[in-house]
């Protein structure tokens, strides 16, 4: 079951609490213009109820583009050096 705001919810609960499931999680398709080549790059922006978001580059063998998660950072980032 999805965990959202510190509580577990069934898909039915989420449907009752929201107008649309896309308010919680989903995929948005877009096209990013590449200046260098003058062509477009199709991108799927995936977002989840936990705050995890990432991009799938559809025209680049499904490579992962940007990714982010609230509260997370890489070990070499400045937030990891705080004590």
In a domain, 83, yes or no: no
| Between 12 and 2, the higher pLDDT residue | 12
In a domain, 32, yes or no: yes
Spatial distance between the Cα atoms of 55 and 61, rounded to a whole number of angstroms: 12
In a domain, 77, yes or no: no
CB 53 within 8 A of CB 46: yes
Model confidence pTM above 0.75? no
Spatial distance between the Cα atoms of 6 and 12, rounded to a whole number of angstroms: 17
12 SS3 class: helix
pLDDT band per the 50, 70, 90 thresholds, residue 78: low
In a domain, 78, yes or no: no
pLDDT tens sequence across 4-60: 777 888 878 888 888 887 887 899 999 988 777 778 899 999 998 778 899 999 999
In a domain, 53, yes or no: yes
Q: What's the structural domain count of the chain? A: 1
- Domain range holding 55? 3-72
| Structure tokens given for 47 | 């977002």
């Amino acid at each position: 079951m999805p965990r959202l705001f510190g509580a577990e919810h069934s898909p039915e609960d989420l449907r009752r609490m929201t107008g649309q499931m896309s308010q919680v999680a989903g995929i948005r398709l877009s096209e990013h213009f590449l200046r260098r080549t003058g062509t477009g790059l199709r991108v799927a922006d995936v977002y989840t109820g936990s705050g995890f978001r990432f991009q799938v580059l559809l025209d680049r063998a499904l490579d992962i583009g940007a990714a982010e998660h609230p509260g997370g950072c890489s070990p070499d980032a400045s937030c990891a050096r705080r004590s």
